[in-house]
Amino acid sequence: MKTLITCTVNGAEHTLLIDTRDTLLDLLRERLGLTGCKEGCGNGNCGTCTVLVDGAATNACLMLALEAPGRDIVTIEGVSLQGKLHPIQRALVEHGGTQCGFCTPGIVLSAKALLDNNPSPTTAEVRHAIAGNICRCTGYDKIVDAIVGAAATLQAGGR
Amino acid sequence: MQSEKSGPLQVVGRRLPRVDAKERVTGGAVYPADLKLPGMAHAKLLRSPHAHARIRAIDTTRAEALPGVLAVVTAADFPELPIGASVPMGETGYDMWMVAQVNMARGKVLWIGQPVAAVAALDLHIAEAALGLIEVDYETLPAVIDLAAAMAPDAPVLHEHVFTKGVEPRPRTPSNICSRTVIARGDATAALATAPATAGISVAIDTAHQGYLEPQATVAEVDANGFVTVWTSTQGQFTAELMIGRMLGLPLSRLKVCPLEVGGAFGGKIIIHGEAVAARLAQKCGRPVKMVLTREEVLQGGSGPPSAARIDIAVGADKDGRLAAIKASYHLDAGGLPGLGPSLVMQASAALYQCPNLDLQGFDVVTNKPRTEAYRAPGGIQAAFAMEQAMDALCQRLGMDALEFRKRNASVTGGLMPIGTPFPSIGLTTILDRVGAHSCWTDALPQGRYPRGRGLAVGYWRGTSMTSAGHITIAGDGRPMVTMGAVDISGVRSTMAQVVAEEFGLPLDDIHVQTGDSKSVGYTDPAAGSRVARTSTAALVEASRDALAQLRARAAEKLQCLPDQLDYAHGAFRSRQRSGAAISLPELMQATLTDGAVVGRGVSTKLPLGVEIGAHVCDVEVDTDTGLVTVLRYTAFQDVGRALNPIAVEGQMSGSVVQGIGWALMEGFDYGPDGRLRNASLLDYRMPTALDVPPIECVIIETPVPGVAYGVRGVGEVPIVPPAAAIANAIARAIGVRMRHMPMTPERVLRALNA
């Protein structure tokens, strides 16, 4: 069945005819071309499709596109500001916190959800915040260091 | 080839961010699943519901009649490849009959999840519906799921053409035991019988998975003249091209494979899975076709997990702790098709010990489970789990310190490898000395609520070299543009940019590196076996020197002197004859723009091996109420020859260790008696999260390899070898129980405690 929805993604409003079976992930990737959002498992177990829904880190594969209207959705494409990397992104680059890169967009958004609510997390809090994002390449240390580093940059007023 | 460079290194060896990191953190990196071509169709594979069955007939007429279905293929749409057909890879080849079976079953299915047909449709919903309309008439056959059943004398035989290799006289009846491999010297049985101290262990290791986060994905397109282009996530575009070409019966000049970003591979993306099928569908329906596997497909039917194993080891030493004998048997579960063979595993497990008497026997056994594939140091972790526990038990029997025991028996440069050839330059003793001086070994183990233990294990991986090619063209602004054949799965674009920057004496930002498609760069073997950074370094050093020689000739003409009267440094040629006469690379290229391209070429083949050795120390706590093992502290020591970029080396080491910890404690395939994988999701097949592992401390030791540019060794594989053994040894020291089954899940630890 098809239905018409209007939703807001990265601040822009879109009106789309969708298949009611489509997930938010399908909507973002296939309809809006926001392919930074990855599908690693389709079951909410790996975190590669993490986006922000009303500020909360959410698996886009577990949410129907039908649920998108009225929500503020932010994907990795909406994180950098005027072409400038967000401090979390910059820290991941500098610390070597991205290898194959498939988990990275989800990690950035989980980290953003954390730092938006808890500006100076402990290492344990950082590990907890990204526990829903599997990374198979890095062993996590450099990701954790990057997020802690980004928190410090943001606290110091850096951008 | 030795680098001509002298003096301190400027770029190589520095801690630098990856040159391709920005596109990764912004979501801009393009993986094949992200591609969208005009008119693109979507494909799905129909997979076998039986572990062993004959395919009597496949009827696709109903599926083809479904509106929106564009094409359906089965094995009948591909040429039948004879048993023994192969494509070259490195010094050996790859069995194409097997590759074809992994991609599309013919005549018989050998495991649940093996593809039997494929559909291309306007969208995925239609493709999925069409799968349900394909009628396959199966005659089910008795299946053998585990090693013991497969080796039973009256076991149903999977392959009528497989007779055990390595047995004299040649067997007359086919068998599920594909091969027997023997590595022996001296008389291990006699030495064990008289050794003052002996120890032994029998272990079983469950199949795990490489766990790459990006499922296999491919897009295939056929142009109006029949030229096929395939974009895919692969470890080797040339190997993929050879395999696709053979499966389709297509000459290589009619086919191009473009490797895109790879979202993890670890051995699982060497052979093709779906590429040739997508290409055939594209040929049939005249549209581009995309095929993306689901996670369940990746786990149950994909290109293959690493093999399960059963290993039995007995070791003996004199009373001073000098090894007298190692006797071991290795049974590797290859899944439905003959596997990689046990030779490398056997060598790896015994390589680090000088021992006069060896008796190692290995068996490659087929069962009705998914065909197995390489996973990071394939077989190494299984071998170390057995061997390093046996050695640890022997230390305990001798009352000897585990590190001291290993120092006393350590293999050294020039010593004999298990196969009888002398070791190239290795630094095991240096590594062990570093362990002994480190706080991870000298600090007292802190007390905890539950029993704690400290474990040590060493690991060895031989790695491989094979062939890597690359070329460097000089842009109009004088900057080197590097095209390499190696697919980047470990940050090799960055390390190669560093190497070329070093060779040219230019800043890193001046170097652009890309991986070429299979028609734009020289043949290169897959990124596997810890070979790419080493061999690409050698190839690009050669290419840099070639390009600089061509530039030197042009500069000499412009400066009106002989080429050898020029000095080159930091992007400029300067004449020694006429003081002050100089020309920079940008000036030179501008002045000679109409003289044709400057292309420096390089290739590395048969580079000396860069064997990898590591030693790991870990502290664990064992919750004796639940059986949960927590890794408290983990330190990995490794000789990397030279760290081209320590950040990249640490990334390889930590990631590899964490994969090892995952298999050690939580990752294992749970097959039902019918051969169905019961945990084919990432909820039930659990890989380590950031909460499951401690920080991994990486200690990098640099003993450059002689005769290799920059002295680089392999890095990425060996760190996965010791973790399970180090953890098992720590558990044994904590609770006095040897773990014989991996993964060492809480229930298995509890069962061992209560046994």
Asked if pLDDT for residue A88 goes beyond 80, the answer is yes
Question: Above pLDDT 70, what percent of chain A?
Answer: 99
C-beta atoms of B26 and A76 within 8 A: yes
Q: Please, where are the H alpha helices in B399-438? A: 402-409, 428-437
Backbone φ and ψ for B655, nearest 5 degrees, come out as: -65, -40
CB contacts of B659 in chain A (<8 Å) are 136
The owner of tokens 């939703």 is A7
As a whole number of angstroms, the distance between CA A18 and CA A11 comes to 20
As a whole number of angstroms, the distance between CA B229 and CA B25 comes to 28
Asked if pLDDT for residue A18 goes beyond 90, the answer is yes
* Residue B722 one-letter amino acid: P
Chain A segment 12-71 residues within 8 A of B by beta carbon are: 19, 21, 29-30, 33-43, 45-46, 48
Q: What is the mean pLDDT of chain B?
A: 96
C-beta atoms of B28 and A43 within 8 A: no
Asked if pLDDT for residue B579 goes beyond 80, the answer is no
Asked if pLDDT for residue B682 goes beyond 60, the answer is yes
CB contacts of B696 in chain A (<8 Å) are 139, 141
Q: Where are the beta strands (DSSP E) in B75-173?
A: 86-89, 92-95, 108-109, 115-121, 135-140
Asked if pLDDT for residue A82 goes beyond 90, the answer is no
Asked if pLDDT for residue B613 goes beyond 60, the answer is yes
Helix (H) or strand (E) holding B392: helix B380-398
Mean pLDDT, range B247-272, rounded to an integer: 97
Asked if pLDDT for residue B364 goes beyond 60, the answer is yes
Among candidates B321, B386, B322, which has minimal Cα distance to B349?
B386
Q: Summarize chain A as % helix, strand, coil (round to 5).
A: 40, 20, 40
CB B117 within 8 A of CB B45: yes
Query: Which range has the worst mean pLDDT, B305-309, B343-347, B457-461, B586-590?
Result: B343-347
The sign one gets for the Cα dihedral A59, A65, A67, A69 is positive
Helix (H) or strand (E) holding B112: none
As a whole number of angstroms, the distance between CA B565 and CA B28 comes to 47
What is the DSSP code string of B10-62? SSTT-----TTHHHHHTT-PPPGGG---TT-EEEEEEE-S-SSEEEEEEE-HH
C-beta atoms of B261 and A101 within 8 A: yes
- CB count within 10 Å of CB B740 equals 18
Hey, of A20, A46, A136, which one would you mutate to test binding to chain B, going by the most B CBs within 10 A of its CB?
Answer: A136
Q: Give the confidence band of B3 by pLDDT, cuts at 50, 70, 90.
A: very low
The pLDDT value given to residue B90: 83
Backbone φ and ψ for B158, nearest 5 degrees, come out as: -75, -45
Q: Order of strands across the sheet with B357-366?
A: B177-185, B357-366, B323-335, B308-317, B197-205, B741-742
A143 close contact with B: CB closer than 8 A: yes
Helix (H) or strand (E) holding B703: none
What 3-state class would DSSP assign to B540? Answer: helix
C-beta atoms of A136 and B683 within 8 A: no
C-beta atoms of A100 and B683 within 8 A: no
C-beta atoms of A35 and B695 within 8 A: no
C-beta atoms of A40 and B28 within 8 A: no
C-beta atoms of B658 and A139 within 8 A: yes
> Please, which residues have CB within 8 angstroms of residue B112's CB and are 6 or more apart in sequence?
B47, B48, B49, B50, B51, B300, B301, B370, B674, B675, B676, B677
Q: What would the two tokens of residue B305 be?
A: 């997990």
What is the DSSP code string of B220-266? EEE-TT--EEEEE--S-HHHHHHHHHHHHT--GGGEEEEE---S--T
CB contacts of B231 in chain A (<8 Å) are none
C-beta atoms of A132 and B215 within 8 A: no
CB contacts of B18 in chain A (<8 Å) are 93, 96, 98
Question: Above pLDDT 70, what percent of chain B?
Answer: 99
The pLDDT value given to residue B275: 98
Asked if pLDDT for residue B77 goes beyond 80, the answer is yes
- CB count within 10 Å of CB B739 equals 24
> Please, which residues have CB within 8 angstroms of residue B735's CB and are 6 or more apart in sequence?
B451, B453, B622, B624, B753
The pLDDT value given to residue B6: 58
As a whole number of angstroms, the distance between CA A156 and CA B533 comes to 39
- CB count within 10 Å of CB A128 equals 15
Backbone φ and ψ for A133, nearest 5 degrees, come out as: -115, 105
pLDDT in tens, B8-38: 899 999 999 999 999 999 999 999 999 999 9
Hey, of B24, B122, B296, B638, which one would you mutate to test binding to chain A, going by the most A CBs within 10 A of its CB?
Answer: B24
A109 close contact with B: CB closer than 8 A: no
Mean pLDDT, range B415-426, rounded to an integer: 90
CB pairs under 8 A between A and B: 170
What 3-state class would DSSP assign to A151? Answer: helix
Asked if pLDDT for residue B50 goes beyond 90, the answer is yes
CB contacts of B655 in chain A (<8 Å) are 99, 135-139
> Which of A75, A126, A131 is opposite residue B689, by nearest beta carbon?
A131
* Residue B598 one-letter amino acid: V
Say how far residue A57 (Cα) sits from the centre of its chain. 7
- 0.90 cut: is pTM over it? yes
pLDDT in tens, B111-139: 999 999 999 999 999 999 999 999 999 99
CB B12 within 8 A of CB B506: no
CB A100 within 8 A of CB B264: yes
The owner of tokens 């390499």 is B484
To the nearest whole angstrom, how far is the Cα of B576 from the nearest Cα of chain A? 41
What 3-state class would DSSP assign to B419? Answer: coil
Query: Which range has the worst mean pLDDT, B17-21, B309-313, B446-450, B461-465?
Result: B461-465
Mean pLDDT, range B412-416, rounded to an integer: 93
Mean pLDDT, range A87-93, rounded to an integer: 98
The pLDDT value given to residue B5: 54
Among candidates A86, A87, A108, which has minimal Cα distance to A36?
A108
B94 or B272, which is more confident? B272
Asked if pLDDT for residue B463 goes beyond 90, the answer is no
B12: which strand partners? none
C-beta atoms of B295 and A46 within 8 A: yes
A93 close contact with B: CB closer than 8 A: yes
Asked if pLDDT for residue B356 goes beyond 60, the answer is yes
The owner of tokens 């006393």 is B408
Among candidates B341, B351, B413, B352, which has minimal Cα distance to B379?
B341
Q: Where are the beta strands (DSSP E) in B709-754?
A: 741-742
Among candidates B192, B597, B27, which has minimal Cα distance to A38?
B27
Q: What would the two tokens of residue B445 be?
A: 């183990």
The pLDDT value given to residue A159: 64
To the nearest whole angstrom, how far is the Cα of B303 from the nearest Cα of chain A? 16
Among candidates B675, B678, B735, B717, which has minimal Cα distance to B142?
B675
> Please, which residues have CB within 8 angstroms of residue B401's CB and are 6 or more apart in sequence?
B395
As a whole number of angstroms, the distance between CA A36 and CA B30 comes to 8
Say how far residue B328 (Cα) sits from the centre of its chain. 25
CB contacts of B720 in chain A (<8 Å) are none
Asked if pLDDT for residue B276 goes beyond 80, the answer is yes
CB B533 within 8 A of CB B520: no
